[in-house]
Amino acid sequence: MQRYIDKFLRYLEIEKNYSAHTVLNYRLDLEEFGNFLRYRKVDNTFLTTEISQGKSLESANEIGGRNFLKTLSADKPVRQWFGFPYSQSHKDVSLEAEKVDYLTLRRYLAKLKEKNVKARTIARKVSCLKTFFKFLLREGYIKDNPALLVSGPKVDKYLPGFLSEEDAVRLIEAPSTAEPLGLRDRAIFEMLYSTGMRVSELVSLNKDSLDHISGVVKVEGKGKKERLAPVGERALASVRRYLGERKKDSKALFLNDRGGRITARGVRFVLNKYINVVSQKQHISPHTFRHSFATHLLNHGADLRSVQELLGHANLSTTQVYTHLTTDRLKAVYDKAHPRA
């Protein structure tokens, strides 16, 4: 099983050009599925309900075959799945991918549900498995795709949180421009709100990524796809002032207080310093600027297709989550459009 996982991850990294973060998430999901499959190597007829109902290990050994207890005691991931402590060395007894069938996948999803895993997480794992087995089928490693008819749980539509225009302005203007770090923080907030870029895209910017004359920035998005995003004059002015006061010479656009490239966690730390000062919202993250950017554009009449391009979304359906509008905006549209409003 592991050799197939490694081949699949190389395919995602090299051919699909996925980011290291995305490849890591695929690896974690597939290795968790591999851990679940380990006990299937012992006896394909073994049912997990014997343990989940509180029966003894000896009883499980009788049902799973004489080697089941030995395998369970020696395999950390399997013991973690069934809730037993681990004390011995790891042993790989994973089931080969060719023997995975539809019922195996259904049992895995049932186990996730039993462990109270969120529906959105289960849906992501189902998507991962579908992509994985589709790859194995296309490459000829398996004859049938066991995940073809597997469907994930219904996921509630998620409406991202966003700042009001007033809160966004207060947050952007909160850093003091009398000191270099305040200038940097102001420039970071201006760039996030002006471009709607992801924080991972922001921290990867170099000084030459920004064209001050044409007012655009070259952004490397997911899958290393590049796009040009317009930058507002206020954001450009903030960046110019920050760079003019910065002592450290570096190709990175934004630096931390030690002179290295700032990280996504560093931006989150910077944001936390100002949240309580300017807003009653307690769950603000750097990504909130992106949500606010899209929401404010739509509220002011921007079309969905343009917002999709600005955000760098591959599919329009991803952008549609931002079509929520404020109550005031909906009321204004209603009053203007309804003949008896």
Check residue 223 and report its DSSP letter: G
Query: Over 60: is that where the pLDDT of 55 sits?
Result: no
So what's the pLDDT on residue 2?
85
Quote the pLDDT of residue 46: 42
The residue ranking higher by pLDDT, 216 or 99, is 216
Residues 6 or more apart whose Cβ sits within 8 Å of residue 169:
none
Task: Give the residue, 212 or 276, on which the prediction is more confident.
Answer: 212
Contact call for residues 107 and 129 (beta carbons, < 8 A): no
Q: Mind telling me the catalytic residues?
A: 198, 222, 287, 290, 313, 322
- CA-based Rg of the chain, rounded to a whole angstrom? 26
Model confidence at 247: pLDDT above 60: yes
What's the average model confidence in pLDDT over 95-117?
88
Point out the least confidently predicted range of 63-67, 75-79, 259-263.
Answer: 63-67
Q: What is the pLDDT of residues 173-214, one digit of tens each?
A: 999 999 889 999 999 999 999 999 999 999 999 999 999 999
Identify the pLDDT of residue 314.
80
Question: Is the CB of residue 8 less than 8 Å from the CB of residue 51?
Answer: no
Q: DSSP states of 104-126 as a string?
A: HHHHHHHHHHHTT--HHHHHHHH
pLDDT score at 279: 59
Distance CA 341, CA 331 (A): 10
Give me the pLDDT at residue 44, please: 46
- CA dihedral 6→10→16→21, nearest 10 degrees, is 80
Mean confidence (pLDDT) of the chain: 81
Look at 33-37, 142-146, 249-253 and tell me which has the smallest mean pLDDT. 33-37
Give the pLDDT confidence score for residue 73 in this predicted structure.
46
pLDDT confidence bin for 230, thresholds 50/70/90: very high
Per-residue pLDDT averaged across 47-56, rounded? 43
Q: Which helix (H) or strand (E) holds 227?
A: strand 226-230
Domains of the chain: 2-138 (no CATH), 165-335 (1.10.443.10)
Do the beta carbons of residue 88 and residue 69 sit within 8 Å?
Answer: no
Flag the least confident range among 57-66, 177-186, 307-316, 328-337. 57-66
**String of DSSP letters for 279-315:** -S-S---HHHHHHHHHHHHHHTT--HHHHHHHHT-SS
Q: Which residue has the higher pLDDT, 281 or 131?
A: 131
Q: What is the pLDDT of residue 304?
A: 87
Q: Is 166 helix (H, G, I), strand (E, B) or coil?
A: helix
Nearest to 205 by CA among 169, 253, 275, 256: 253
- Is residue 321 over pLDDT 80? no
Task: State pTM to two decimals.
Answer: 0.69
Whole-number pLDDT of residue 278: 65
Given the DSSP bridges, would you call strands 216-220 and 226-230 parallel, antiparallel or unpaired? antiparallel
∠ at Cα 270 (265, 272), nearest 5°?
Answer: 95
The token pair at 209 is 């990524």
